[in-house]
Amino acid sequence: MVGLLDALGAEQAVIAGHDWGAPVAWHAALLRPDRFRGVIGLSVPYRPRGQVRPTTVMPQTEDAVFYQLYFQTPGVAEAELERDVHRAIRAVLCAVSGDAPREGSVGAAGTVGMVRRKGGLLDGMATSAVLPRWLTEADVDFYVGEFARAGFRGGLNWYRNIDRNWELMAPFSAARVSVPALYIAGDRDLVVAFPGMDKLIPNLANFVPQLRGTIMLPGCGHWTQQERAGEVNAAMIDFLRRL
C-alpha cells in the first residue's frame, strides 16, 4: 500500500507505504527528492542495493525455501491461494498479526519466512475462529471479494520482478534517501526478524541521513496501520507537523 499525503498544502507531497508499498515509497523519495518532501515507511525499512541479485542470497535449505522464492514460479502460489480465497485471506491476516502465536506465522519450516518445498505458504498457519480485535468479518469479506475477482497474480508478479528491479537500480547503488523520513514497525512483525534486519534497522540512518525516528510498536505484528491505527496516525501527524 502506498499513499500520498498533502496535508501541509505544500508543492511537494509526502509519500507513505506499507509492506511492498514501503520500498516503493523509499525509492520514490530516493529518485525524486524534488517531488517528495518526506517519506514514511511502515514494516519494511529502506534497504540499500546489494552487490548480488536478491534471489541468490535468499535463505533456502534442502527442505524449505524463503517465501519469496516460493513465489517465483508462475502459477504455483496462485493455485494454492486461489483454491480457497477465504481461507487464504483469513489465514494470512491472522497468522502475521501481533495477536498470533509466533509459531503460527509464516515459517512453518522452523525459520521465519520459510515454506516447505513439499508444502505451501499456508501450511501450519494458525486460523482462529475469533478474529483479532483490529479486524472485522466485513474487512475479510471485502478482501476476499477483491482477490476472488482479480486473483493473486498481480501482487505475486512483484516478487517475480525483484531481480529485474535490482538491475534497473544499478545507477543508484550508492545513493541515499536524502529527504526527512520516518520508519514505523511492530516488534512482532515477521519482517523485522528476517535475516539482516537486526543490523539494518539500528543503522538505518547511515542510508537515510534525515531519519527523524524509528518507532517500534510493542506487541504489534505486520499489519502496522491496522493493528495500531491511533499510534501510527499520531506518529505520522507529528512527523508532518515537524517538516
- Marked catalytic residue, from 18, 99, 189, 222: 222
Report the distance separating Cα 169 and Cα 77, nearest Å. Answer: 27
Give the start-end residues of each E strand in the chain. 2-5, 13-18, 36-42, 64-66, 114-116, 181-186, 211-217
Catalytic residue at 222?
yes
- Per-position DSSP letters for 116-176, written without gaps between them: ETTS-TTTT----SS--TT--HHHHHHHHHHHHHH-SHHHHHHHTTHHHHHHHTGGGTT--
- Marked catalytic residue, from 6, 18, 19, 141: 19
Catalytic residue at 19?
yes
Report the distance separating Cα 30 and Cα 140, nearest Å. Answer: 34
Active site residues: 19, 222
